[in-house]
């Protein structure tokens, strides 16, 4: 079939539209993570800005006579110059005359007297706005004025020629800044909160939960798939049914169970109850069912034990399924929050996991979003790394659960 030029143009437009939609959504999806990543690298002075800014910046400085001064772009008679701010001047108020508002005067706030006194200052309607009236001295006479604006004066010096200085309003000078990521924030957040200990705890818990879940569900999945025993099918139905039961029903009895067996505040409460999974067992069973029977029958004829068949025939074949289950369990264990919150509850900081520390950190360091974001980056980075390494299994895993 020949494609006409019009068809090709239409196709091109559709593709461009598709990319546009994807890019807009993609930007919205990824932006919070960019914000997290860049905020984690900011200086404390760079965090609270309105309007906000994404990149971590710090003032550019110049050294004059062994002292560091910030650099500014200042408008002077010679055009726009790069000057160092050597001193912060007193604030000045710009007043305009009541009679002739185009006439303005710069004064220090102290030099103006309120008309009628501070407690009962007189006002006047100027350009439809009510203004407070002040009196200032100008060339020997007293003028009635109102406040037009305020400015902070700064003394600027030429870095090449420090003798040459001039005073300018800081409002008119633009600070020069440079990209300056603060890697040290990560160090600081590790010291501030026990993020490092939580990180290793989370790793340990996650690794053991993944190993445990994979082991029990491979064993159970094999039994459900291949070993006929009385009550197997009804037991399997019960397992399927429990997938529907939400965790919230279990929080309170599980907590009380932990109290009874003395596991409150213990790492074991984060690991041992979670190495049994109905869902994983179900997934493994489904996979094992798809493996042809002749393979194991040959091995059985040779007198191999069931455990050996499972280990040498089924497990190698189930590699992708196991990897899928492992990645999902990993995410689940790494990000779990409610259970640790409930069971690690008496302030045993040594047994906290990342989600808990992050929660505590964002309360404690509410004034330092840069540190909070550094902690969050640490918590998010590891799953992200796993995702990059095992992307295939994520997508495959979701596909299999969806097709079910």
Partner 1 sequence: MATTTAQRPVPAERATLIARLGAAWQGLLAAGLALAAWGMSQATWAQRDGLRLVAVALIGLGALSSLLAAGLMLRRNRRGRLLGLALNYVLAIGCLLSLLGTLGVYTGLDEVANRFYPRAWLLIGVLAGFLIASSGDRFADAPRVQAAYHRTGRWVMIGSVVVLALSMGALQGLVTLLLGLRQPVALALLAGASLFGAAFWLLWRPQTARAFGAGERDAVAISGYLFIAPNLLGFLLFFAGPLLFSLYLSFTNSDGFRAEFVGPRNYATIFSLEVVRLESSSQRASEVLSPGFVELNRIGNLVIGARDRLFWIALWNTVVYCFWVTILSVVPALLIATILNSKIPGMTFFRAIYFIPSIAGVVGVAVIWKWLYNSNIGFLNYGINQVLGVINLLPGVELGPVNIPWLASQQTALASIIIMAAWQLLGFNTILFLAGLQGIPNDVYEAATIDGAGAWQRFRSITLPLLGPTTFFVVTTTLITTLQVFSEPFVMTPPPGGGPNNATLTSVLYLYQRGFNRFEQGYAAAVAWVLFLFIFAVTIVQFRMQRRYGEM
Nearer to partner 1, 45 or 104 (CB): 45
Nearer to partner 1, 123 or 345 (CB): 345
Query: Counting contacts by CB under 8 A, is residue 188 touching partner 1?
Result: no
Q: How far is the CB of 401 from partner 1 (least distance, A)?
A: 8
Calpha distance 244→307 (Å, rounded)? 31
Query: Counting contacts by CB under 8 A, is residue 79 touching partner 1?
Result: no
Q: Which residues inside 365-384 make contact with partner 1, applying CB under 8 A?
A: 369, 372-373, 376, 379-380, 383-384
Count of residues interacting with partner 1 (CB under 8 A):
112
Structure tokens given for 153? 């004066």
How would DSSP label each residue in 44-105?
Answer: GGGTS-SS--SS-EEE-EEEETTEEEEEEEEEETTEEEEEEEEEEEEEEEEEEESS-TT-EE
Calpha distance 20→325 (Å, rounded)? 35
Is 400 in contact with 69 (CB distance < 8 Å)?
no
Q: Which residues inside 89-108 make contact with partner 1, applying CB under 8 A?
A: none
Calpha distance 355→376 (Å, rounded)? 9
Structure tokens given for 113? 């007297």
Query: Counting contacts by CB under 8 A, is residue 359 touching partner 1?
Result: yes
Near partner 1 by CB under 8 A: residue from 278, 321, 326, 374: 278
Taking CB under 8 A as the binding criterion, the range among 57-65, 130-138, 154-162, 201-209 that sits at the site for partner 1 is: 201-209
Q: Which residues inside 233-272 make contact with partner 1, applying CB under 8 A?
A: 235, 239, 242, 244-257, 259-263, 266-268, 271-272
Nearer to partner 1, 169 or 351 (CB): 351
Q: Which residues inside 279-298 make contact with partner 1, applying CB under 8 A?
A: 281
Q: How far is the CB of 283 from partner 1 (least distance, A)?
A: 13
Q: How far is the CB of 315 from partner 1 (least distance, A)?
A: 13
Would you say how long the chain is, in residues? Answer: 404
The three-state secondary structure class of 239 is: helix
Element (H, E) at 162: strand 161-169
Nearer to partner 1, 286 or 362 (CB): 362
Cα-Cα end-to-end distance for the chain? 39
Query: Counting contacts by CB under 8 A, is residue 201 touching partner 1?
Result: yes
DSSP assigned state of 120: T
What string marks each residue from 6 to 45 as x (binds partner 1 by CB under 8 A) or -?
---------x--xx-xx--xx-xxxxxx-xx--x------
Near partner 1 by CB under 8 A: residue from 204, 291, 315, 317: 204
Q: How far is the CB of 328 from partner 1 (least distance, A)?
A: 11
Structure tokens given for 55? 């990149």
The total of other beta-carbon atoms located within 10 Å of residue 11's CB is 11
Bridge-based pairing of strands 61-64 and 57-59 is: unpaired
Near partner 1 by CB under 8 A: residue from 66, 163, 227, 346: 227
Calpha distance 303→296 (Å, rounded)? 11
Query: Counting contacts by CB under 8 A, is residue 49 touching partner 1?
Result: yes
């Amino acid at each position: 079939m020949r494609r006409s030029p019009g068809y090709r143009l239409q196709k091109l437009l559709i593709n461009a539209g598709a990319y546009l939609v994807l890019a807009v959504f993609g930007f919205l999806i990824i932006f919070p993570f960019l914000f997290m990543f860049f905020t984690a690298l900011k200086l404390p002075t760079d965090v609270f800005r309105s309007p906000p800014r994404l990149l971590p910046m710090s003032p550019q400085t110049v050294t004059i006579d062994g002292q560091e001064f910030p650099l500014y772009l200042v408008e002077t008679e010679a055009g726009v110059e790069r000057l160092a701010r050597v001193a912060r001047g007193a604030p000045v108020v710009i007043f305009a005359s009541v009679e002739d508002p185009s006439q303005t005067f710069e004064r220090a706030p102290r030099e103006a007297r309120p008309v009628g006194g501070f407690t009962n200052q007189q006002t006047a309607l100027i350009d439809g706005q009510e203004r407070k009236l002040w009196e200032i001295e100008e060339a020997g006479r007293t003028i009635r004025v109102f406040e037009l604006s305020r400015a902070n004066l700064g003394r600027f010096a030429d870095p090449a020629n420090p003798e040459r200085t001039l005073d300018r309003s800081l409002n008119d000078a633009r600070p020069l800044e440079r990209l300056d990521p603060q890697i040290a924030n990560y160090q600081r957040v590790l010291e501030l909160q026990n993020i490092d200990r939580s990180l290793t705890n989370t790793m340990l818990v996650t690794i053991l939960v993944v190993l445990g879940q994979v082991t029990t569900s491979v064993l159970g999945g094999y039994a459900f798939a291949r070993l006929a025993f009385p009550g197997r099918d009804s037991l399997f139905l019960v397992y399927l049914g429990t997938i529907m039961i939400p965790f919230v029903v279990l929080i309170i009895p599980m907590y009380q169970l932990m109290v009874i067996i003395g596991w409150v505040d213990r790492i074991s409460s984060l690991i041992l109850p979670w190495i049994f999974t109905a869902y994983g067992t179900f997934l493994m069973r489904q996979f094992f069912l798809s493996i042809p029977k002749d393979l194991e029958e040959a091995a059985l004829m040779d007198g191999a034990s069931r455990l050996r068949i499972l280990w040498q025939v089924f497990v190698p074949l189930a590699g992708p399924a196991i990897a899928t289950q492992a990645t999902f369990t990993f995410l689940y264990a790494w990000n779990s929050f409610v259970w640790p919150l409930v069971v690690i509850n008496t302030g045993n900081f040594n047994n906290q996991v990342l989600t808990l520390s992050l929660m505590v950190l964002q309360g404690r360091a509410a004034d330092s979003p840069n540190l909070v974001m550094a902690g969050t980056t640490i918590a998010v980075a590891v799953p992200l790394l796993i995702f990059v390494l095992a992307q295939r299994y994520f997508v495959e895993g979701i596909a299999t659960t969806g097709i079910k």
